[in-house]
A and B are shown apart, each in its own frame.
Chain A
Amino acid sequence: MNIDELFKRKSLFAFRNVGNEKVLVPIKNNIANMTEIFTLNEVGSFIWDKIDGGNSEDDIVLAITNEFDIDELTAKKDLSDFIEKFEKIIS
């Protein structure tokens, strides 16, 4: 899954910020699935916000490195872990 596909799938979740984290409620066939509610930590929540239909993966990696004082390699892994996690959730 690439970042554009993930952006399109964001509408499959209701979400709310809780501090710097997020709670995500998956919605299938217009019904919220209350048995599979997910949370995102601060980095995950930041990535979620950056997936806006305009930012590329490189843009998001750069934004992560600027925001969290981590190197590019770690930021790339954070983003790829995030995408992998969502592939599992959505599938």
Chain B
Amino acid sequence: MNTQYLSIAGFVIKLQSESSAELTLEEGYSPFIISDYTDKPDVIINAINGIPNYLLEKNNLLFEAKNEEQNFFSIYRQDTSYKIIIFDQKNINEVQQIAILNNELTEWKVYCKEDYTNKITPLLYPLGPIVMYYLTVKFDAIMLHASGVFDNETGRIFSGFSGVGKSTMSAIWQKTGSKIINDDRLIIRKNNKGYTMHNTPMFYVDIPKVAPLNSIYLIHHSAENTIKKLNGALAVSRIMAHCIQHGYNNNFIQHHLEFLSHLCNNISVYDVGFKPDISIVNFIKEHATAIHF
């Protein structure tokens, strides 16, 4: 049995395969590999080489992740599990993997397309982020489109739709000495002391990072720096729009609403218009309150 362990955002993922094919990971996962783990993992992923024909049946469609150009993956309901068909992004008519997730969201069977390399890569994009998403809905966490920075005292998250300046904002904070946790995707976890933000494996190599979360900013470009505190339902609804989620299951939606209502009750949330220069750093420090636990 080939086995590997990953620790992502504090979640432990056990990968295993009985196949003779080599169990591999995309390079962004390498820093997240851990060794000598003996406790129960949070999720087990069984990697299987080859896709049986019977799994290609498409019944009980729940959700399709697609745009006008291509279909990324489709989720189907089975009796005691979910079936996710993931399409090859370079050859959209080909199935890259079929993943079966049990109802308890604790164990996956990932059937991977056989190829000439005799390697098996169960977390091949986009399945890696999909696995992380289901970890967040199983536990006290969410995954968010956002950039996050930490200045050794305060952790700040900047979120918004594509093009609002999430990467620009984190790069500006980096210039003033803050560390970028990630500039695209973060997992937020709740713990006894408060909230933490974590990076996740990306297409490039980066070490695992974690920082406390003390304030959240929903940003947009503006001629002048502006700030307005958001409270209650409005804050929840604004952040909810940027959560990564597959909204076909009411329990998952309720999980997000519950997590965010607690989060917004404990962390300050602001709407921020910003000029893309260094003035926004002091502006935020002067006008926003970051909650420290």
Contact = CB atoms under 8 A, between A and B. Distances in A.
Interface of A: 14-19, 21-23, 25, 27, 30-35, 37-40
A38 B243 CA distance: 15
B248 A16 contact: no
B237 interface: yes
B230 to A, nearest CB: 11
Which of A23, A27, A30, A35: most chain B Cβ within 10 A?
A23
A25 B257 contact: yes
Contacts of A39: 232-234, 236-237
Given A35-B241, A37-B240, A39-B237, A16 B247 contact: no
Interface in B220-252: 232-234, 236-237, 240-241, 243, 245, 247-248, 250
Contacts of B232: 18-19, 21, 39
B254 A16 contact: yes
A31 B233 contact: no
Report whether over half of chain A's contact residues are helix, strand or loop; otherwise say mixed: strand
B167 interface: no
Nearest to A40: B233
B234 to A, nearest CB: 5
A68 B240 CA distance: 30
Interface in B256-293: 257-258, 261, 264-265
A34 B145 CA distance: 13
